[in-house]
Amino acid sequence: MNLLLDKIKMQTKDSEQAKVKPPDNPPLYWTEISDSVSRRFQFHPDGQLSMKLLDDSRSVIHRTVDSFLSKFFPSGYPYSVSEGYLRYTQFRALQHLTSATLSVLSTQSLLFAAGLRPTPAQATAVSWILKDGMQHVGKLICSNLGARMDSEPKSWRILADVLYDLGTGLEVLSPMCPHLFLEVAGLGNFAKGMAVVAARATRLPIYSSFAKEGNLSDLFAKGEAISTLFNVVGLGAGIFLASTVCSSMQGKLVVGPVLSVLHVYSVVEEMRAAPVNTLNPQRTAMIVADFLKVLKLNPTMWLH
């Protein structure tokens, strides 16, 4: 009987200890304070890390800049990217702004050209569809050149924007020859189709050259956010110009070339800032030439 009572007491004691026993994996958290900002970081049982802002006594300007950087630049910037990323981003923003502005002006010209044609509405619609179809033809042709773009991403990226501006220029000029609307606009869309494929094919190696900490996806997402933002700004600028300075053909002939030159210049500066380290034919030829020169001066080196 005493043995049974002892067992009951032991079980009761164990159950009471179990109630007050701390959890096996208590939540791990810490607080960091820097630049007048207090943040609390916490690891959850599932391994996720969360951050909660406790206090921010910075000025409104500083908070706005920090919010902009967090939305349009990779996490950990500038330490998580290679040198030159800021310069690349600045000219990429300028490139997309000018490109979007040019697209508004070319669309306005195309509408003028299509409306000036003395043909029924159905024929105009068919011409417009055929014009868009030429862009797909350009994409198909340029896609066959994809293998050549791996070793020369910078050159192909610049060529893509030159082709895009060429196509846009043809569209802007289309009202000057409305009887050749389909031919001029179709050729312009053909060039733009090739430009789209070349630009997309070279985007990944260029972004990869900036990734330092396995953050390629973050780089890509923030880069596209910058592009979208300045495309919207460029569309607004294009609408303003189309209703003021560029409402006439003479205005487009003045503003169009200026925007095109600024567009191509931005792309060239982007590529200069991108640290792409690939062996293209020119670099390979230089390495082989230097090796042969050294081998010629020291023939016994090969034996070692």
Cis peptide before 299 (omega within 30 of 0): no
pLDDT at 160: 92
Q: Which has more confidence, 13 or 252?
A: 252
What percentage of the chain carries pLDDT values higher than 90?
Answer: 11
Q: What is the pTM of this model?
A: 0.64
pLDDT at 27: 61
Is the pLDDT reported for residue 264 higher than 90?
A: yes
Q: Give residue-wise pLDDT tens across range 151-193.
A: 788 888 999 999 999 999 998 888 888 888 778 888 888 898 8
CA distance 211 to 206: 9
pLDDT at 3: 47
Residue 63 has which token pair? 């908070």
Is the pLDDT reported for residue 300 higher than 70?
A: no
CA distance 301 to 298: 6
Q: What are phi and psi of 194, to 5 degrees?
A: -65, -40
CA distance 174 to 160: 21
CA distance 35 to 86: 22
CB 230, CB 237: distance < 8 Å = no
CB 109, CB 242: distance < 8 Å = no
Collapsing DSSP to helix, strand or coil, 39 comes out as strand
Residue 155 class from Cβ within 10 Å (0-12 exposed, 13-18 middle, 19+ buried)? middle
Q: Give residue-wise pLDDT tens across range 189-238.
A: 889 888 988 888 888 888 888 888 778 888 888 888 888 899 889 989 98
Instruction: Give the CA count within 13 Å in the CB-facing half-sphere of 55.
Output: 8
Q: What are phi and psi of 32, to 5 degrees?
A: -115, 135
Residue 28 has which token pair? 């791990």
pLDDT at 165: 93
Residue 27 has which token pair? 């939540």
